[in-house]
Amino acid sequence: MSNKNRFAFFGGKIVPIEEAKVSVMTASFNYGTGIFEGIRAFWSEKEKELFVFRLKEHMDRFLRNSRFLQIHLPYSSDELCDRTLELLRREEYKRDAYIRPVAYKSSTVIGVRLHDLEGACTIFAIPFGEYIDKPDGARLKVSSWRRVDDNAIPARFKIVGAYVNSALAKSEAHREGYDDALMLASDGSLSEGSAANFMLVREGVLITPPVTDSILEGITRRTILEMAAREGIPAVERSVDRSELCVADEAFLCGTGVNVVPVTGVDGYPLGEGKPGAITTRLGKLYRRAVRGEVGEYRRYCTPVYGSA
């Protein structure tokens, strides 16, 4: 990708991307002590507008998670939202984009710790299409790697170093010919995908693991649960047994990166009828319209970059 017209929010201002550099001695680079976010912006051809989906919720989570790692950023959530919009305008995005804020321990010292270190943050954006391009259904592998435990590295905080766990699972799945991994929590209950939450459907009921089963508390997950409630689809948050994969009617992954991707097979066996289910398809279509500002109830979640109402 060419760096022409590319910028980053770095050192408190928007600078050309080449200037957004950190030292090899940076504490976060050495120890994984950082927090990141993933946010999507969707181009509406109809309105000639770029909408950032649930920007404020992402920035609130980013600041909350950063505080957990004792990174105290000198910005409010609203300021980070404004900088993000400014960045997208500077880059003149007129296509779907993915926005990556990162908060990190910026001190250049050796010694693993959280205290007595400087913190900093950066935001950059890239053009982005599908993360898992499987509209007809992804095939997952139940990973041999367990999801990071809340008493080891809490999954809920989106900690940079914790994604080694996701990377191990994703590459194992890829190596064996699958599209993604499904991870079990340390007690063996079903947790989530390598970079997305997991939902299944049994007899018309949407089921997803609770936030206490070593998952990232996904914003898309929350959106889908809200959509299910509005659509009259019963939904429960409860622990899910691995063997329920064999009796589920449908399943899908959901997250900022993946949007909604149907899951049609696990470990080489078909899930349900081996094709995207009715509830998955309905929620997936609704979600994809909502993020582009096309659905009234969810329009409040779409922040226009160029200023349409």
Site track for ligand PMP across 158-177, x = CB under 6 A:
--------x-----------
Site track for ligand PMP across 179-198, x = CB under 6 A:
-------------x--xxx-
Spatial contact of 306 and 89, defined as CB atoms under 8 Å apart: yes
Between CA 154 and CA 302 the distance in angstroms is: 29
Q: Please, what sign has the CA dihedral across residues 89, 93, 96, 100?
A: negative
Q: How far is the CB of 163 from ligand PMP (least distance, A)?
A: 7
- Name the H helices within 121-233: 163-175, 219-231
- Which residue lies nearer to ligand PMP by CB, 218 or 277? 218
Residue with tokens 């408190």: 12
* C-beta atoms surrounding 159 within 10 Å: 21
User: Any contact of residue 214 with ligand PMP (CB under 6 A)?
Assistant: no
Q: How far is the CB of 218 from ligand PMP (least distance, A)?
A: 3
- Which residue lies nearer to ligand PMP by CB, 192 or 213? 192
Between CA 294 and CA 138 the distance in angstroms is: 26
User: Any contact of residue 101 with ligand PMP (CB under 6 A)?
Assistant: no
- Name the H helices within the chain: 27-31, 55-68, 77-90, 163-175, 219-231, 278-290
User: Any contact of residue 218 with ligand PMP (CB under 6 A)?
Assistant: yes
Q: Indicate the angle between helix axes 55-68 and 219-231, nearest 10 degrees.
A: 140
What does 243-279 look like in DSSP terms, one character per residue?
Answer: GGGGT-SEEEEEETTTEEEEEEEETTEEPTTSS--HH
Within positions 46 to 65, which residues make up the interface with ligand PMP, using CB under 6 A?
A: none
- Which residue lies nearer to ligand PMP by CB, 117 or 215? 215
Within positions 22 to 51, which residues make up the interface with ligand PMP, using CB under 6 A?
A: 38
Q: How far is the CB of 227 from ligand PMP (least distance, A)?
A: 13
Could you say which of 35, 50, 87, 219 contacts ligand PMP (CB under 6 A)? 219
- Residues paired with residue 208 on neighbouring β-strands, in sequence order: 237
Site track for ligand PMP across 251-270, x = CB under 6 A:
----xxx-------------
Binding segment for ligand PMP (CB under 6 A), chosen from 91-99, 215-223, 243-251, 279-287, is 215-223
Spatial contact of 260 and 224, defined as CB atoms under 8 Å apart: yes
Q: How many residues bind ligand PMP (CB under 6 A)?
A: 14
Contact residues toward ligand PMP (CB under 6 A) are 38, 166, 192, 195-197, 216, 218-221, 255-257
